[in-house]
Structure 1
Amino acid sequence: MSREQHIARTFVELADTLVEDFDLIDFLQQMTVRCQELLDITDAAVFLNHPPPRLHSPAPCDPGPALRDVLEAARSEGPALDAHRAGKPVTTGEDPAETAARWPQFAQMLRAAGYTRATAVPMRLRKDCLGSLLLLHTGETPLGADDLALAQALADAATIGLLQAGTIHEQHTVNKQLHTALQSRIIVEQAKGVLAARRHIRLNDAFEAMRHHARHHRTLLIKVARDVIENDFVPAVPPASPARPADSS
């Protein structure tokens, strides 16, 4: 599959929210997976603002204490919060001292976790900004203009998908969805670790196995995760997803 085909498939996935059994945690988790595959980044996370910005989906890997500290710090300062407020992309600068002066806690956690820089794009629809997409880098090269434009397009498409799914129209619905997603995220991460250990596979492959089973059997991802943890269920591993093709530009 070419990179262009992979991008097209991703936009179709983000638009596929008008279903009765829409799974919010699956939708946001899959968005971070696709960001890793398509962009020159290491990890990604989604924040929604209801208020203040709440972490909805961590990077699709075992977060570990260092990454958890980065994401927790990002809730109160850093590019994710500023991108949401400004409605435009925000990135850490080339000068570490400047970044530390602007966001001291976030910059400290970022360095401790081994990341070299962070970029965030707003999740917006016209003038309404619902949150942001945080992208974490370990390389020295800044996110290129094409990748930044693609990241913004993915965030915009996800925003439209969430609006279509009706998950952010009513405040009480939002609060319930956020609480459920945050609790579900913990269970899904635990299940990924359990399944990866049982099958001796990568955490991303464990997530794909659970997601594939949930979609094939039209059930929620959280139900599959609980079955893995509580009943020793081992879903089949689907064919490997295409790796992110090298950028030919």
Structure 2
Amino acid sequence: MMSREQKIAETFVELADTLVADFDVIDFLQQLTVRCRDIFAVSDVAVLLGYPGPQLYSPAPCDPSPTLATVLDLALGEGPAVEAYRTASVISPGNLATAPVAWGDFTVQAREAGYTYASAVPMRLREDTLGSMLLLRATDSPLPADDLVMAQAFADAATIGLLHARALKDTETVNAQLHTALHSRITIEQAKGFLAAHRNTSLDDAFTALRRHARTHRLLLTAVARHVVDTGGLPLPPAAAPRRHPAEG
């Protein structure tokens, strides 16, 4: 079993892995939320992006249950995630029992969902702020200050990765993946649920299986998930391209 320090080191390696030809932005953001939930012992994590476009949207929460989905809908317009995005600054763990009035319905819905503390860090690089990462706890203590610093470091690394992917690869491809991220997320969650039920395993283990299959066979995570939803099984690896005979033109 990996130590916390090993998990942190591995996360930074994963966040730097954006220069590969088959970079998958959906997998990248989903894994960021999974890692943060594990390392920081938070109840839920969500990445909210205002990229590409002016409005925040949520491409990759760790586990979008109906309750969390409702909280995230409100988080797009009010609360710590919006503040972190607009101010490009860390919003320290706030006790939802004494949250700012401006957080409005977000606070009400978050408390009804069982969350007790909410914080957020911006996804920023110099003058560019792409969005924010929302961290929710359902404990009697806030996220420790050191964990919040580390969460900001992860968010910074993820921002650099997204900007590099957009600058060094096909910009339209990266933007298209981000624009379709919401639908992709839903498909991934459906596939996780199917695999978890049919393999009698946890949702986290099901996601690991999806991700491993996609990476092993150089497939997009969304494509693997869609195949599971449509057919009930993991897709076969792409067939090797037939070799051409030397005599052929």
Judge same fold: TM > 0.5, yes or no: yes
Q: TM-score normalized by structure 2?
A: 0.87
Q: Give me the whole-angstrom Cα distance separating, in 2, the residues matched to 1:177 and 1:168.
A: 15
Provide the residue aligned with 2:247 in structure 1.
Answer: none
TM-score normalised by L of structure 1:
0.87
Q: How many angstroms does 1:184 deviate by?
A: 0.8
Code of the residue aligned with 2:222 in structure 1: it is: I
In structure 1, what is the Cα distance between the partners aligned to 2:75 and 2:171? 23
Deviations 1:46-72 (A, max 9, x none): 01112111111112x2x2221111011
Is the contact made by 1:119 and 1:136 (CA closer than 8 Å) also made in structure 2? yes
How far the C-alpha of 1:80 sits from its partner, in A, is 0.3
The SS at the match of 1:57 is coil
Superposition RMSD on alpha carbons, in Å?
2.0
In the aligned structure 2, how far is the partner of 1:95 from the partner of 1:195?
35
Is the CA contact 1:163–1:169 (under 8 Å) kept in the aligned structure 2?
no
1:51 to 35, 49, 54: 54
Ranges in structure 1 where 5+ consecutive residues have no aligned partner: 236-249
Query: Which residues in structure 2 correspond to 1:66-105 (within 5 Å)?
Result: 66-91=67-92, 93-94=94-95, 96=97, 98-99=98-99, 101-105=101-105
CA shift digits 1:176-228 (9 cap, x unpaired): 23322111111111111111110111111111100001001111111111221
CA 46–172 in structure 1, closer or farther in 2 if over 3 Å, else same? same
Contact 1:91 1:117 in 2 (8 A): no
What is the total number of aligned residue pairs between the two structures?
232
Q: Give the superposition deviation at 1:105.
A: 0.9
Instruction: Return the offset for 1:141.
Output: 0.8
> Are the counterparts in 1 of residues 74 and 105 from structure 2 also a CA contact under 8 Å?
yes
CA distance in 2 between partners of 1:147 and 1:182 (Å)? 28
- Counterpart CA distance in 1 for 2:94 and 2:46 is 20
Question: Contact 1:84/1:129 (CA < 8 Å) preserved in 2?
Answer: yes
The one-letter amino acid of 1:139's match is T
Identical counterparts, % of pairs = 56
| Contact persistence 1:45–1:57 (CA under 8 A) | yes
Aligned counterparts, 1:5-16, within 5 A: 5-16=6-17
Distance 2:216 2:67 in 1: 35
SS at match of 1:104: helix
Gaps of 5+ in 2: 236-249
1:239 corresponding residue in structure 2:
none
Residue 20 of structure 1: how far off its partner (Å): 1.4
CA contact (8 A) 1:44 1:134 kept: yes
Q: Does 1:148 align with 2:148?
A: yes
Q: Check conservation: 2:95, 2:116, Cα contact below 8 A.
A: no
User: Which amino acid counterpart does residue 60 of structure 2 have in structure 1?
Assistant: S
Task: Give the 5 Å matches for 1:165-244.
Answer: 165-166=165-166, 176-234=176-234
- Residues 114 and 138 of structure 1 are in contact (CA less than 8 Å); yes or no, is this contact kept in structure 2? yes
Q: Which residue of 2 aligns with 1:242?
A: none
The answer for the alignment partner of 1:241 in structure 2 is: none
